[in-house]
Amino acid sequence: MPRLTADNLQARRRTIIDGARRCFARDGYEGATVRRLETEIGLSRGAIFHHFRDKESLFFAVADDDAAEMAAVVAVHGLVQVMRDVRHRDAGWLGVQLELSRRLRTDADFRQRWAARSQTISRAARERLQRGVDRGTLRVDVPVDTLAAFLELVLDGLVAHRAMGVPDDDLDAVLDLVEAVVRR
């Protein structure tokens, strides 16, 4: 069997993460059996677990991938832009966010292991908000940590709202209001 190049390995890892995202979103963490993962990804368990130690490591990689992508958007455009982007996210992303929330709520060991990774978006949001305060574009009467917590709560609520299938016809107006609340 020929050796895979670094690019091939990276592409295979991406294929595994994308397939696992669909499987976790559709079947939940517990329902995403190895057999279902193999079927969805189109690779053998050996190929999948060559890249990831176990199913939990794979789930962490999927959630971490989403967190890194959101943190990059936050760093450049802010947390409100992440909220605006939610309407264009596929069911796989939404399903992973809901599964992540469920696991954080119900699994203390998972919550402890995820704690360091969950700071990625929070840190990016606080740094961006602080830059806005320093530039004079954001309100100064509320601490940056409070503004960030407010925006994170709105994002969590938006994800739950989308999960319920509620139409988002007024989403732009609502997010304009959220943005106006934090501006000076």
pLDDT band at residue 67 using 50, 70 and 90 as cut-offs = confident
Quick one: DSSP state of residue 4?
P
> By mean pLDDT, which of 23-32, 34-43, 74-83, 87-96 is the weakest?
87-96
Give the residue among 51, 93, 4 at the shortest CA–CA distance from 43.
Answer: 51
Q: Angle 62-14-98 (CA atoms, 0-180°, nearest 5)?
A: 20
pLDDT, tens digit, for every residue of 4-62? 688 888 899 999 999 999 999 889 889 999 999 999 999 999 999 999 999 999 999 99
DSSP label of 2:
P
Domain limits at 115? 6-182
The answer to whether 37 and 58 have CB atoms below 8 angstroms apart is yes
- 63-68's contacts with Cβ under 8 Å and 24+ in sequence apart are 63/96, 63/100, 63/114, 63/117, 64/117, 64/120, 65/17, 66/93, 66/96, 66/97, 67/117, 67/118, 67/120, 67/121, 68/120
pLDDT of residue 16: 97
Q: Locate tokens 């368990």: which residue?
A: 45
Mean pLDDT of the chain: 90
Q: What integer pLDDT is reported at residue 2 of this predicted model? A: 61
**CATH assignment of the domain containing 53:** 1.10.357.10
Per-residue pLDDT band for 149 (boundaries 50, 70, 90) equals very high
What pLDDT score does 1 carry? Answer: 54
Q: How many domains does the chain have?
A: 1
The pLDDT, as a whole number, for residue 13 is 93
The angle at the Cα of 113, spanning 112 to 117, to the nearest 5 degrees, equals 110
Q: Is the pLDDT of residue 157 over 70?
A: yes
**pLDDT, position 172:** 92
Q: Is a pLDDT exceeding 70 seen at residue 178? A: yes
Residue 99 maps to a domain? yes
Residue given tokens 């501006």 in the structure block: 183
End-to-end CA distance of the chain: 62
Q: What is the mean pLDDT of residues 60-79?
A: 90
Res. 92 pLDDT band, cuts 50 70 90: confident
Answer whether residue 102 is part of any domain: yes
Residue 1 falls inside a structural domain:
no
